[in-house]
A = this chain, B = another copy of it.
Amino acid sequence: MDEGTKLLQGKVILITGASGFTGEHACRYFSALGMQVAAMVRDEHNKPAMNGVTYYSCNLLVADEVDSVVRKITPDYVLHLGGKNSVPESWKEPILYMESNVLSVLYLLDALRSFPACRVLIVGSRLSVGLTLGDRPQHPYSLSKSLQKAAALSWKELFGQDVILAEPCNLIGPGPSTGFCSLLGRRILQEERGGGLPPFQVSSRHGRRDFLDVRDAVRGYGFLLTGGRSGEVYQVCSGTERSLEEVTNAMLRLAGSEMSVHWGESRSEDAVAEILKPQFLESAGWSPRIPFETSLQDVIHYFRAEKGGI
């Protein structure tokens, strides 16, 4: 166990979006640390049984529900993972994205005004922008996360709450992710089980992204909860960028697959503005523990083990 996280033992942590990809890993991790995990899920029937985790149904878009569940839980810490995170879907449902990513954070922070000692970690996005004239969001998802960030940090200033933000890179690993590696892993398994599908589309051979195992990210969130500074925004990433070609080839090799891939010509991802480093986390003693290939292998195992849905 990391030194800092001993502070968390026995404390109550509310995790929103608990049945999502990161949410499930977070529930498992913080429960294993000895925290009392209160897991908030939207759907009454979507409560995975997990030792040491208590599930609460709550629609984050209904202020009264949020308030009443928060009062029941009386959290010491909050990890806010709830919300929507698909760029293509955000073009189809922009209002849903604004409500889910902006309004829900405001409802949550408002409910938490009754718990001024509670530390809140909001998981934002690297795709958020500053909302100044020269820095406009490129899609509704980015707008929703940019408004979320501005709203959360301003609210914190106005009401003196203890709020920190994390901006994770592309998280990978086993579970119901909608990220690039999981889409690819799912498709490889579809191909194994039947095939005959058109080639897998990758937007660009050269597009580079930073990938981090979701379990390392969740451990990083623990570091932020114990050591982060109120009002700060923290990068949660590996500090290493890989091209989509490198990632695709590694995944195919690990799966022993010869699935054909169609490489697009998109240039939008080629120019990476800035390679970000997890400066705070590294200075606090955190570094990624799970090798990249292990993450990919676990993605493949996850889909091979999954009977339905593919």
The segment from A142-150, A175-183, A239-247, A271-279 found at the interface with B is A142-150
Is the pair B158, A147 in contact by a Cβ cutoff of 8 Å? no
- Residue pair A136, B157 in contact (C-beta under 8 Å): yes
* Cβ–Cβ < 8 Å partners of A143 in chain B: 151, 154-155, 158
Q: Does A158 contact B139, Cβ atoms closer than 8 Å?
A: yes
Q: Interface-forming stretch among A97-105, A185-193, A204-212, A282-290?
A: A97-105
The interface residues of chain A, by DSSP majority, are classed as helix
| Beta-carbon contact of A98 and B106 below 8 Å | yes
Cβ contact within 8 Å between B154 and A131: yes
* A140 at the binding interface (Cβ < 8 Å): yes
Q: How far is the CB of A129 from chain B (nearest CB, A)?
A: 9
On chain B, the residues within 8 Å of A150 by CB distance are 131, 146-147, 150
Instruction: Please encode chain A, from 34 to 68, with 1 for each CB lying within 8 Å of some chain B CB and 0 for all others.
Output: 00000000000000000000000000000100000
A195 at the interface (CB under 8 A from B): no
Q: Tell me how far the C-beta of A64 lies from the nearest C-beta in chain B, rounded to whole angstroms.
A: 11
> For residue A99, which residues in chain B have a CB less than 8 angstroms away from its CB?
103
Q: How far is the CA of A106 from the CA of B97 in the complex (A)?
A: 11
Which of A99, A106, A140, A153 has its CB near the most chain B CB atoms (within 10 A)?
Answer: A106
- Which chain B residues border A94 with CB–CB below 8 Å? 106, 110, 155, 158-159
| 22 sample A-B contacts, Cβ–Cβ < 8 Å, listed by A number | A63-B95, A94-B106, A94-B110, A94-B155, A95-B106, A98-B151, A99-B103, A102-B102, A103-B103, A131-B150, A133-B153, A136-B154, A137-B157, A139-B158, A143-B151, A143-B155, A143-B158, A146-B150, A146-B154, A147-B147, A147-B150, A147-B151
